[in-house]
Structure 1
């Protein structure tokens, strides 16, 4: 395995975190992250942000808000806004 360097690790970080790169590149980036504190910190921030956004996307709006939004949409569609 070869340390891919900071530039490649940062450029391919999102794909790495989503396991969307080939196993060789994945191993190279993993090795780099193990030995580069700055890139390791950046990966931690990216991973945390990705998890927070994913969690937020699973949340549902309160029923009262959903009802208000649908009522407003019906008004706009009916042309009575």
Structure 2
């Protein structure tokens, strides 16, 4: 095991979580996270945040709200012309 250290693990955490680091780096960071509660907690926060944002991006606005937004946009556009 080659511990990459907290600073390296945190620096490359986002890429690690997206599987965008080379296999050696991935193994080093994974092993570090297994043995470092602080970095593991940070990885959990990053993973949770990514999942919440992904879910939010899949939601659609209620039809009534969408109609109100489009109506307001049309008002603004017509006032500018």
TM-score between both structures, scaled by the size of structure 1: 0.92
Give the structure 1 partner of residue 33 of structure 2. Answer: 33
**Deviation readout 1:17-39 (Å, 9 max, x if unpaired):** 11111111111100100111111
Q: 2: distance between equivalents of 1:23 and 1:71? A: 52
Q: Which runs of 4+ in 1 moved over 2 A?
A: none
Give the structure 2 partner of residue 48 of structure 1. Answer: 48
Query: Which ranges of structure 2 fall in alignment gaps of 5 or more residues?
Result: none
Q: CA deviation at 1:70?
A: 0.5
Q: 1: distance between equivalents of 2:79 and 2:19? A: 47
Query: Which ranges of structure 1 fall in alignment gaps of 5 or more residues?
Result: none
What's the C-alpha RMSD, in Å, of the aligned pairs?
1.2
Give the structure 1 partner of residue 6 of structure 2. Answer: 6
Aligned length: 80
TM-score between both structures, scaled by the size of structure 2: 0.92
